[in-house]
């Protein structure tokens, strides 16, 4: 299965992990892999070093240089600490915030990170227990820190964990700091270079002193408090899917005036085992099944969820047939940004300097709404660090209304710089109440929006290819799509191709090639067709998969045709998937 040269390379790497620089449990786990006749685990654990990328680390937990453990976490932290001491050498005291989610080993990794920072003379504000990822971003800004680390693998399956690095603006690191940190991390060649022995005097526990102001600042985002009060008893089913949203999200919902929160008791249990779901991802129907069942029992107005680190939001509403239906990530962004633009206009708060942000793979319907409402829209790369970059560049130049991406993340505030379900969920409750006050459901609001601004439907497809062979296959798929581009998609000619790796776009009708104005290159390819279809293709930066984003457009003339239009769109997207070979 594996060639002899690769076996020799991983064996040599693994044997270095048998030294006394590693703990006994780790050495035993490595020795067991070496002794096994089947070398699959050995290869997957050592064929490469878990890369500290521009967002940090994410990987399967276990022993080995390609796994999440105290040594890969330690190397990342020592490199980051070295860079912080270089970048902020003129400060009397450098400070960081460290947080974590509920995953197995998250507290261990967080304490390891805190100890290493403190051993390097850096003050650490360590959350006393699991907290939402966006609250860490908030704390960095509130406490005036220079950096922060959150231990989380977001919505990945339970075998994963991760490490997110943040800068002094509360956003995940971008250039030039990302590359500089990576260089310092790569310079850690020996486990003995990592300072594991912490300085307790430099570690301070934080909790309610951040929780309380965070909730109050989120409440200032409410645009319709009188409507919230009127519909305070609206039935809201909420599930944290075993994650950190368990306490903070209901607290935030209640602060906005809603007092009829219906829980899913089995999923209120905070556990890294995620016992009731295969994957704790609010994008998937299976993860939302228990909440939907509860909604059916109580006839809920809407169903809301957060993922394990409470940065993403899941939404379920009743469709035209009265059946509960999962809302996709693009629709979530559309409804949030539509409300923020239209409601600000209703309140007379638009002055002409407002702006919104979306990612390049998120629905173009948002652009149509912004154009019609006269509000500037920015397109950026996937990942909230890029949305935060726009926010940083626009400080003092415009008023941020909101920003989001199709992967179920939205940010309605400026006091945090990462996607935030703790603020987004009560905002969605408010939108439902606002619609109710106009005699509409959320589904009615969607239909009305599509009639006024144009119909669209989007679908994301992920093709998973784990391991080394999978990574090679994904790389080859991107090469094939780039070197042998689609000429037509579902019978409609491709009229424009955007290649963000080359930072150029090609007009397929004229042959004209023009540059794309983006800050850096990214391995993303987009096809646009004559009939308005948009297909985006990119490999995931954090998971072993290649992602396809398919978006189709048409006109919707009246409510009665909505279901038929959805059927048309589903059939069209199915045909597109077949033509791309991903059906």
Which residues belong to the active site? Answer: 154
List the beta bridge partners of residue 60. 160
Whether the link from the prior residue into 176 is cis, omega within 30° of 0, is: yes
Please report, for residues 87, 329, 330, 461, 503, the alpha-carbon distance to residue 583 in angstroms, rounded to integers and kept in the order given.
49, 20, 21, 9, 29
The residue length of the chain stands at: 583
Nearest to 284 by CA among 314, 246, 311: 314
Q: State the Cα–Cα distance between residues 291 and 325, nearest whole angstrom.
A: 12
List the beta bridge partners of residue 261. 236
Tokens at 480, concatenated: 């094939």
Element (H, E) at 128: none
Element (H, E) at 120: none
Q: State the Cα–Cα distance between residues 493 and 474, nearest whole angstrom.
A: 26
The beta-strand segments (E) located in 221-347 are: 236-239, 261-263, 302-306, 313-318, 324-326
Tokens at 557, concatenated: 């003339």
160-167 and 95-100 beta bridge pairing: unpaired
Q: State the Cα–Cα distance between residues 245 and 310, nearest whole angstrom.
A: 5
Q: Which long-range contacts (CB under 8 A, 24 or more apart) does 529-536 make?
A: 529/488, 529/489, 529/490, 529/492, 529/493, 529/494, 529/495, 530/492, 530/493, 530/495, 531/490, 531/492, 533/489, 533/490, 533/492, 533/572, 533/576, 534/364, 535/486, 535/489, 535/576, 535/580, 536/360, 536/361
Q: What's the distance, Cα to Cα, between the start and end of the chain in Å?
A: 28
Number of H helices, E strands in the chain: 18, 23
Three-class DSSP labels, 405-464: ECCCEEECCCCCCCCCHHHHHHHHHHHHHHHHHCCCCHHHHHHHHHHHHCEEEEEEEEEE
Q: What are phi and psi of 46, to 5 degrees?
A: -130, 0
DSSP code, position 541: S
455-464 and 545-554 beta bridge pairing: antiparallel
Q: C-alpha angle 143/148/150, rounded to 5°?
A: 120
């Amino acid at each position: 299965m594996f060639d002899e040269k690769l076996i020799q390379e991983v064996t040599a790497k693994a044997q270095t992990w048998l030294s006394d620089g590693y703990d006994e449990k780790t050495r035993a786990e490595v020795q067991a892999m070496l002794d096994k006749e089947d070398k699959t685990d050995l290869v997957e654990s050592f064929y490469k070093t878990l890369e500290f990328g521009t967002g940090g680390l994410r990987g399967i937990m276990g022993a080995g240089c390609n796994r999440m453990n105290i040594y890969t976490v330690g190397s990342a932290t020592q490199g980051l600490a070295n860079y912080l001491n270089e970048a902020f050498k003129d400060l009397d005291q450098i400070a960081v915030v460290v947080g974590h989610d509920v995953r197995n080993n998250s507290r261990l990794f967080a304490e390891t990170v805190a100890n290493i920072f403190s051993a390097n003379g850096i003050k650490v504000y360590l959350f006393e227990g699991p907290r939402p990822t966006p609250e860490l971003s908030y704390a960095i800004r509130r406490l005036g820190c220079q950096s922060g680390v959150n231990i989380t693998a977001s919505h990945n399956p339970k075998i994963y964990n991760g490490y997110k690095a943040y800068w002094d603006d509360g956003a995940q690191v971008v250039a030039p700091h990302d590359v500089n940190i990576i260089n310092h991390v790569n310079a850690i060649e020996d486990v003995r270079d990592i300072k594991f022995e912490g300085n307790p005097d430099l570690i301070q526990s934080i909790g309610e002193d951040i929780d309380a102001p965070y909730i109050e600042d989120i409440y200032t985002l409410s645009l319709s408090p009188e409507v919230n009060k009127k519909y305070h008893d609206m039935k809201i089913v909420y599930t944290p899917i075993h994650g950190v949203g368990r306490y903070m999200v209901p607290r935030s919902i209640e602060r906005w005036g809603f007092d009829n929160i219906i829980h899913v008791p089995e999923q209120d249990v905070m556990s890294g085992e995620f016992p009731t779901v295969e994957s704790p991802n609010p994008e998937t129907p299976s993860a939302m099944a228990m909440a939907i069942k509860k909604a059916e029992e109580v006839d809920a107005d809407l169903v809301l969820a957060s993922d394990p680190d409470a940065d993403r939001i899941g939404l379920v509403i009743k469709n035209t047939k009265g059946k509960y239906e999962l809302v996709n990530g693009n629709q979530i962004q559309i409804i949030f940004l539509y409300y923020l633009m239209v409601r600000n206009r209703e309140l007379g708060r638009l002055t002409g300097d407002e702006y919104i942000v979306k990612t390049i793979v998120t629905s173009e319907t948002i652009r149509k709404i912004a154009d019609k409402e006269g509000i500037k829209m920015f397109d950026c790369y996937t990942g909230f660090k890029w949305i935060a970059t726009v926010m940083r560049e626009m400080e003092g130049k415009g008023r941020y209304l909101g920003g989001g991406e199709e992967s179920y993340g939205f940010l309605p505030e400026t006091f945090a710089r990462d996607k935030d379900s703790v603020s987004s969920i009560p905002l969605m409750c408010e939108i439902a109440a606002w619609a109710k006050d106009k005699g509409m459901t959320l589904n009615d609001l969607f239909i009305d929006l599509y009639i006024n601004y144009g119909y669209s439907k989007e679908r994301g497809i992920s093709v998973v290819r784990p391991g080394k062979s999978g990574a090679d296959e994904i790389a080859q798929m991107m090469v094939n799509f780039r070197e042998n581009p689609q000429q037509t998609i579902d019978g409609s000619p491709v009229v424009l191709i955007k290649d963000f790796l080359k930072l150029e776009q090609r007009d397929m009708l004229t042959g004209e090639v023009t540059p794309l104005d983006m800050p850096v290159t990214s391995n993303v390819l987009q096809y646009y067709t004559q009939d308005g279809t948009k297909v985006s293709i990119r490999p995931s930066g954090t998971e072993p998969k290649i992602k396809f984003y398919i978006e189709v457009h048409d006109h919707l003339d009246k409510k009665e045709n909505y279901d038929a239009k959805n059927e048309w769109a589903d059939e069209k997207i199915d045909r597109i998937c077949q033509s791309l070979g991903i059906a």
